[in-house]
Amino acid sequence: MKKFIFGIVFMLIANVSVMAATSTATTTTNWDSAAAVQRVNTIGKKLIVANGIGQNITFKVSDQADINAYANINKEVYVYKGLLQYVTDDQELAAVISHELGHILNGHCAKQGVLNTGVNILACAAAKKVGNVAAGVGQQLVSSKMSRKDEFEADITGVDIMTKAGYNPLAMISVLNKICGNYVDILQSHPSGEKRLLNIYNYVEYNYPAKLKSGFKSDSYSKALTMLNPTIQKRKASASLTKKFEKEQKKLLVKKEKRMAKTAKTSTIWDGYYTTLQLMAQ
Ligand SMILES: [Zn+2]
């Protein structure tokens, strides 16, 4: 068992990087942390209830000024103070929380948690060897940088989650465009967010055409549309590109169904690996 787990860790170690906590001093006035916790929990619970998510997910607010949010293997969704002060409204906040729920539901957090724990065990072992045990290294396993594929999967799952709870899915485009370059989880590994925004736009157009038609009133969404419009219009004017678009979207839905079914089965396996690694780390 140990051999197998370390095999996985070594195979994937090159692809894993633990996100460094980028905390900054927080001295902003007019900050009501109790109200923030309530706001995040109200939206989070609304999303959970509307989607019948049975997992025991908790919502927390971090009192740090970073524009950030993340989910971890313990099924906790953290929203930073900096992000709360940066989103335009609850629609955008719901988009961020839905994206993080998307990571949990797609099994990304469980997988990354296992990999990071393995990496941290190796780091601790190395530190012990030179008599320098890195304090708090275990803490780093709670957050990680997701892959591009993971981000896209969390985006479209997030779109489904928020729409089902009555939020406007276009707020996902609005918030991502707005915070591009600031949001550590969402865009750190994506210097160019344009393709990602287009992917979300296409997904909304195919699956929620009425929502797309009614639009979203925000400066950021208008700017995103201006940026994406030449590509969208080009596709609409071309029969072959339209056909390709429809084929891609159909394929995406099939893949999504398969992935969700697989995650429902394998998440317990990742949880098992995680428990074993935690015991080994002690
Ligand atoms: Zn993400």
Give the pLDDT confidence of 50-105 residue by residue, as tens digits.
999 887 899 999 998 888 888 888 889 999 999 998 898 999 999 999 999 998 88
pLDDT of residue 25: 40
60 CB-near residues (< 8 Å, 6+ apart): 37, 40, 76, 77, 78, 79
- Is residue 120 a contact partner of residue 280, using CB atoms and an 8 Å limit? no
Q: How far is the CA of 238 from the centre of ligand 1 (A)?
A: 33
Q: Is 230 buried (19+), middle (13-18) or exposed (0-12) by CB count in 10 A?
A: exposed
Q: Which two tokens stand for residue 204?
A: 């909304």
90 Cα: distance to centroid of ligand 1 (angstroms): 19
- In tens, the pLDDT along 178-228 reads 876 444 454 444 445 788 899 999 999 999 999 999 999 999 999 899 989
**CA of residue 103 to ligand 1 center, whole Å:** 7
Say yes or no to pLDDT of 140 above 90: no
> In angstroms, rounded to a whole number, what is the distance separating the alpha carbons of residues 160 and 166?
10
Of all helices (H) and strands (E), which one includes residue 222? helix 219-237
Give the C-alpha separation, 201 to 210, whole Å: 13
183 CA from centroid of ligand 1 (Å) = 9
* Number of alpha carbons in the 13 Å side-chain half-sphere of residue 97: 32
* CA 275 to ligand 1 center in whole angstroms: 24
CA 40 – CA 66 distance, rounded (Å): 16
Q: Distance between CA 75 and CA 205 in Å, rounded?
A: 30
What's this model's pTM, rounded to 2 decimal places? 0.75
Residues in the chain: 282
70-102 as b/e, with b when 16 or more CB fall inside 10 Å? bbbbeebbbbbbbbbebbbeebbbbbbbbbbbb
- For ion ligand 1, residues whose CB falls within 5 Å: 146, 151, 154, 185-186
Q: From 255, 53, 246, select the one nearest 165 (Cα to Cα).
A: 53
More confident residue, 264 or 225: 225
The domains of the chain are located at 2-281
